[in-house]
């Protein structure tokens, strides 16, 4: 894997716990969610929501590989139906979550499950092979790290690292000088503040991916402008999938 750098990324979650940092009273009396487990159910819904957002809409097909505790206990925790529910766009408090398989069949989304050792990842991890609305396949890896909080760790061949708590911009491009500068200056003119950023590439002049977490959403106009930057391949604007 290529070189990586991180800037200003603030990991506020510990891997075993609920929020290590309490944001407010409704983190304690809440969230409202479909049970039974914040990590194995609510977190799984959010992982599915993140996958859906990354492929830009409802996939036609989802092949899900479960790892560790997800693979061991998915039936009783409903991790399987929760992941499918998220991919269908349901939120963690949606009472249709237990029926998500039926909803998927009605909406013509194919899905399948397998268990596998994904290596040195968090025990509650999934790899989602999603065929997006435009027919292209994207692999999204992520973990449920406690208290319903998630970490997206992989998009296709790239290692990434974001929590889905804020707006994010994902840009894939060919590595060359100035691409990041052009993206960030465009964000600046749109008055969008950058909260965290991570860039990785397959090698010099190879394919590269930028994950930029933002305090404000990216308008479709701004997204279109970024798409026109020389060297840019695709740009995805992600809404937050985790909220109180």
Partner 1 sequence: MYVSIAELTHAATSRSLSIGAAVREQEALHSGEPQDALNRRMQERLAVMRDSVGRGLAGVRSRSGLTGGDARRMAQARTVTADGTASGAPMLIGGEPLASAIAYALAVAEVNAAMGRIVAAPTAGSCGVLPGVLFSVGEIRGAGDPELVDALFAAGGVGAVIARSSTLAGAAGGCQAECGAAAAMAAAAAVQIAGGTPEQCASGVALAFKGLLGLVCDPVAGLVEVPCIKRNATSVAVALAAADMALAGIRSVIPADEVIQAMGAIGRELPVSLRETALGGLAVTPTGKRIASEINAGRDSAAASNAPQAAESEKGDDPGI
189 binds partner 1 (CB under 8 A): no
18 binds partner 1 (CB under 8 A): yes
CB nearer partner 1, residue 142 or residue 146? 146
30 binds partner 1 (CB under 8 A): yes
Q: Provide CB contacts within 8 A for 216, sequence distance 6+.
A: 167, 191, 192, 193
* DSSP-derived pairing of the beta strands 110-115 and 61-67: parallel
Q: Provide CB contacts within 8 A for 86, sequence distance 6+.
A: 44, 45, 46, 47, 48, 49, 50, 51, 52, 241
125 binds partner 1 (CB under 8 A): no
Q: Tokens representing 238?
A: 């992600």
CB nearer partner 1, residue 69 or residue 139? 69
Beta-bridge partner residues of 7:
197
DSSP string for 143-191: EEEETTEEEEEEETTEEEEE-SSSEEEEEEEE--TTHHHHHHHHHHHTT
- Which of 1, 6, 17, 178 contacts partner 1 by CB under 8 A? 17
Cβ at position 104, least distance to partner 1 in Å: 16
156 binds partner 1 (CB under 8 A): no
146 binds partner 1 (CB under 8 A): yes
Cβ at position 48, least distance to partner 1 in Å: 15
- Which of 1, 7, 11, 28 contacts partner 1 by CB under 8 A? 28
- Rg, the chain, Cα only: 18
133 binds partner 1 (CB under 8 A): no
77 binds partner 1 (CB under 8 A): yes
């Amino acid at each position: 894997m290529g070189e990586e750098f991180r800037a200003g990324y603030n990991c506020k979650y510990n891997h075993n716990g609920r929020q290590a940092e309490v944001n407010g009273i409704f983190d304690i009396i809440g969230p409202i969610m479909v049970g039974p487990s914040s990590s194995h159910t609510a977190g799984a819904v959010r992982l599915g929501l993140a996958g859906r957002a990354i492929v830009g809409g409802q996939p036609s097909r989802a092949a899900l590989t479960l790892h560790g505790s997800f693979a061991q206990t998915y039936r009783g925790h409903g991790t399987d139906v929760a992941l499918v529910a998220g991919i269908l766009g349901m939120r963690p408090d949606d009472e249709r979550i237990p029926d998500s398989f039926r909803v998927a069949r009605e909406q013509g989304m194919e899905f399948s499950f397998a268990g596998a050792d994904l290596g040195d990842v968090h025990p509650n991890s999934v790899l989602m092979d999603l065929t997006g609305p435009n027919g292209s396949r994207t692999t999204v890896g992520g973990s449920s790290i406690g208290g319903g909080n998630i970490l997206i760790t992989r998009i296709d061949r790239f290692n990434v690292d974001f929590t889905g708590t804020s707006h994010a911009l994902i840009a894939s491009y060919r590595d060359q000088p100035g691409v990041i500068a052009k993206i960030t200056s465009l964000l600046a003119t749109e008055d969008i503040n950058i909260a965290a950023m991570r860039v990785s590439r397959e090698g010099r002049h190879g394919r590269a991916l930028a994950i930029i977490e933002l305090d404000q959403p990216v308008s479709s106009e701004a997204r279109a402008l970024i798409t026109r930057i020389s060297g840019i391949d695709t740009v995805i604007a992600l809404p937050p999938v985790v909220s109180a």
